Structure 1
């Protein structure tokens, strides 16, 4: 079987993400959801431009670099991938060297040399464009203790703050504008949407051992909801990495099932990862703009007698539970480490933004290509490494392997991914999307990460400032 050089290096990049979150090395500019999406965007943009410049493709170059004739495509893509990976993950250089040697590179010596140089030049151009990106450190960031504001997780009070400056100080990869969201629900009893969201996450997101403490009027989490919550996890745990890795894994399976051409994969994976790159920037810009607290604080401090600015009172509100804890972002493959809440504000959900951007752009890509994916969604099951029969929970118990089908396709993925964070107890429903009276996502409102991700996807796919659909093989943009 002929090697697809894009899928080959995509797999290497996803392994690098996993390794960096397992070893704790290379973290300054690649770890956490924000920097993971940045790294994957850089790598796939470099591969994309290397492909476009050496293949004679009619796709539009991201950097505007002139193409060349007589160069090996596989050599150019491999050089671009290798160079960006080595720069981003320097401690893994021996691994990348090994994978470079095993890559199937075709052409004459002259073509390979020309392709290699071209790919390196492209990588340098992309890296230069992103050289001023901030890191995820919280040096000089100060929070303020008040009702409704994000503060460290009570389970991990020394967790710090992830990427407080990354969003607003980063240039976008391809979106033409910096999308903003409407304000979330007000964190007070007088807001009925907030009250509804609080009761939902208190019941659906509570730690398993505390379920017996819920009032009988609360709706508890089902078995399937527990599975959904963990399935979409990937909260930077060892041997798993971050959400952008999971979304790439799903797109990989779809690309293989659809027998994508090399050009389709170069294009699709660049679109997906550049969309997530911008999702990481804009979601974190909004997160630290609103600085909204997580359910673990909102539920424990719901009564006005609770928290750092509480007022004296007895007989607290029954919707307040000062001892509430979430099921939590899973500490997979880390025995003894408690599940907890991520170290950045709630609104909007990063998972929801990444997922909305990924699956919306993939849906548009395949619609544009005229491919009907429904037969595949009706038959093909997807495996998350949270439930692969090898990963274990924080008690050291191996989770079973689970094959999950998405018969409603990308829309089901977007919705499940958004709801999953409620079932873990780490997000409010409006962090992902507004809910209609039927409890289903209402994407007509500019509330939450999914609308933000969808806006990013639409912008990039239909033009924006980066990759354009251009005119490929007679298909109009």
Structure 2
């Protein structure tokens, strides 16, 4: 009888090559100077031709409860005006005389501004995902984009994109300026024809909102990000898809919404997350017997990573979120704990090639997108396959990344509340298959992030639900296979993440997009 293939193994086959290829691209990215990079050469994607334009998206619920009346835009000239006719004439000239380089750049951005800026964010996270030198003073221009930082970065970016796009859709259908090519047939349109009103430009909205948020997070990339934003906007003129006034309005709107998102970020308590002087008292670490406390295994000694990240402001309802906190782990003296530690040791002693593969595939360590970025890549593949509009794509990223960040907040709260030692701290004979993270064991960050992401994505993409949930299972157990987590770390983390994912599902069910 032929042996069947496990569902978890099947779940990753479609992604193994893409993920490994992406890692190679990221490695290349990391060694280049930002200002010299040619991002359009990184990856070829199909030109976006949405199956529907989501005409009612202007009525969807925004994350920051943005009132469109508080957003000011330049006046949209009538299509019969001399000023607008001059803009159309410019598009005729640009689209008729488009160079090969301009065509390539236009095709790159035509894959979708939301998807492309998410890729850019992942590349920046990978570039800065290198631990600083021990003892070196913090450099705000070179942040350490560890998993909690990355989860927050993806959330801030996707919220800015989503809220700005929902607001832009409201203006689009209020002003109702038709796409340029439907007004002037001489425009040599490079992108698919659309019934979506053009003012303000959705690409300019996303470009400016993304540029501004990413510059806030990665200040040293200011010139590079401005170059990309300008290129994104210019590509719409080369395509014949937007006039300069469409782009100016989109830039204004994107900037205003990004400012609101950045203002929230400045007050979300992330600036206090790295405090090494207050977490001991806040979590009352002294209550834990010294022999039962986690210790850093890094040499030279490095302070624990972001011990107060658990106090950062969540995106979903905080009362409901913290109701999902996991229970206490088993006592170190209990038979349950001893059995769990023995299981880690047994796997480390007898690790199979398949367990090595799984541990490596989900490791997402230094120089990568991080675990939250891995799930952004998975979401991107599903979004592209579904041919969603820009606003619906942004909604998916926003729902997922807020859930992933909130799951990380609860995970980090549990880590420092219980201060549980890593398996190899208690049994130095355990040989790990991946790096030992510099923070306590309970619960698993990978499992928490994955439980949240998979639960939300399974709701958005129901035909892929089994595969997504299997991937979350595999991501969680990969940490056991790696020798750095107990099974209960993974199980409780995944359960907590799934509860946060359900909060995201409830938000999605009430946001008006269904």
Q: Same fold (TM over 0.5)?
A: yes
1:449 equivalent to 2:493? Answer yes
How far, CA to CA, are the matches of 2:299 and 2:470 in structure 1?
33
Please say if 1:184 is aligned against 2:334: no
State how far apart, in whole Å, the 1-side matches of 2:164 and 2:431 are.
46
Deviation at 1:325, TM superposition (A): 3.7
Shift of 1:127: 0.9
Q: Check whether the contact 2:142–2:220 (CA below 8 A) recurs between aligned residues.
A: no
Cross-structure match for 1:420? 478
Residues 458 and 419 (structure 1), Cα distance of their counterparts in 2 relative to 1, 3 Å cut: same
- Residue 27 of structure 1: how far off its partner (Å): 7.2
> In structure 1, what is the Cα distance between the partners aligned to 2:399 and 2:379?
11
Note if contact 2:450-2:497 (Cα within 8 Å) is conserved in structure 1: yes
Distance in 2 between residues matched to 1:197 and 1:27, nearest whole Å: 42
Aligned to 1:134: 270
TM-superposed CA distance for 1:251, in Å, is 1.6
- Does structure 1 residue 43 correspond to structure 2 residue 152? no
SS of 2:129 mapped into structure 1: helix
Contact 2:364 / 2:374 at 8 angstroms: preserved in 1?
Answer: yes
Moved more, 192-201 or 345-354: 192-201
2:351 counterpart of 1:221: yes
Residues 50-95 of structure 1: CA distance to partner in whole angstroms, max 9, x if unpaired? 111112399xxxxxxxxx9932211111110010001110112232
Mapped contact 2:171–2:199 kept (Cα < 8 A): no
Distance 1:152 1:221 in 2: 25
Aligned pairs for 1:62-77 (under 5 A) are 70-77=199-206
Q: Distance in 2 between matches of 1:261 and 1:53?
A: 15
Distance 1:57 1:120, change over 3 A: closer
Write the distance in 2 (CA, Å) between the matches of 1:203 and 1:16: 38
Q: Secondary structure at the match of 2:291?
A: coil
Output the CA distance in 1 between the equivalents of 2:410 and 2:404.
10
Following TM superposition, by how much is the alpha carbon of 1:361 offset from its aligned partner in structure 2, in angstroms?
0.5
Match of 2:249 in 1: 114
1:162 and 2:297 are equivalent in the alignment? no
Which of 367, 371, 378 pairs up with 1:250? Answer: 378
**What SS is found at the alignment partner of 1:130?**
helix
Report the counterpart of residue 396 of structure 1 in structure 2: none
Structure 1 match to 2:53: none
**Is the Cα–Cα contact under 8 Å of residues 138 and 162 in structure 1 kept in the other structure?**
no
Cα separation, partners in 2 of 1:7 and 1:298, compared to 1, 3 Å: same
**Aligned residues of 2:198 and 2:242 also touching (Cα < 8 A):** no
Of 232, 235, 238, 2:362 maps to 232
Task: Confirm or deny that 1:172 pairs with 2:314.
Answer: yes
Q: Where does residue 208 of structure 2 map in the other structure?
A: 79
Post-superposition offset of 1:96: 1.3
Q: Give, in whole Å, the separation in 2 of the partners of 1:290 and 1:23.
A: 24
Contact conserved, 2:424 with 2:484, CA < 8 A, in 1? Answer: yes
1:148 aligns with 2:311: no
Q: Are residues 147 and 246 of structure 1, via their aligned partners in 2, closer, same or farther at CA, if it must alter by over 3 Å?
A: same
Q: How big is the shift at 1:22? A: 4.7
Separation in 2, partners of 1:22, 1:297: 23
State the match for 2:5 in structure 1.
none
* Aligned partner of residue 56 in structure 1, secondary structure: helix
The residue number in structure 1 matching 2:115 is 7
Q: Distance between the aligned counterparts of 1:27 and 1:251, measured in 2? A: 29
Q: Could you list the per-position Cα deviations for residues 28-54 of structure 1 after superposition, in whole angstroms to 9, with x for gaps in the alignment?
A: 766211111111100110001111111
Structure 1 runs of 4+ off > 4 angstroms?
Answer: 22-30, 141-145
Alignment partner, residue 53 of structure 1: 167
Does the CA-based 8 Å contact 1:22-1:241 persist in structure 2? no
- In structure 2, how many angstroms separate the alpha carbons of the residues matched to 1:268 and 1:245? 14
Give the superposition deviation at 1:184.
1.0
CA distance, structure 2, for counterparts of residue 341 and residue 296 of structure 1: 9
TM-score between both structures, scaled by the size of structure 1: 0.70
Aligned to 2:407: 279
Cα distance in 2 for partners of 1:264, 1:13 equals 19
Q: CA deviation at 1:157?
A: 5.2
Larger Rg: 2
1:22–1:295 Cα change, 3 Å: closer
User: Offset at 1:328?
Assistant: 4.2
Richer in helix (by share)? 2
Provide the rounded CA distance (Å) in 1 between the counterparts of 2:509 and 2:485: 34
Cα shift readout 1:294-340 (whole Å, capped 9, x = no counterpart): 101122xxxxxxxxxxxxxxxxxxxxxxx4143243xxxxxxxxxx4
RMSD: 2.4
Question: Which residue pairs with 2:129 in the alignment?
Answer: 21
Q: Could you tell me how far apart the structure 2 residues matched to 1:100 and 1:15 are?
A: 16
Count of matched residue positions in the alignment of Structure 1 and Structure 2:
358
TM-superposed CA distance for 1:266, in Å, is: 1.1
1:220-271: per-residue Cα shift (whole Å, max 9, x none)?
2211011101110112x12x14211111112212222333332331111111
Residue of 57, 73, 93 corresponding to 2:222: 93
Q: Which position in structure 2 is the counterpart of 1:336?
A: none
Is the Cα contact below 8 Å between 1:138 and 1:160 reproduced in 2? Answer: no
Structure 2, gaps ≥5 residues long: 1-46, 49-109, 133-138, 173-196
Partner Cα distance (1:416, 1:57) in 2: 44
1:293 matched residue in structure 2: 421
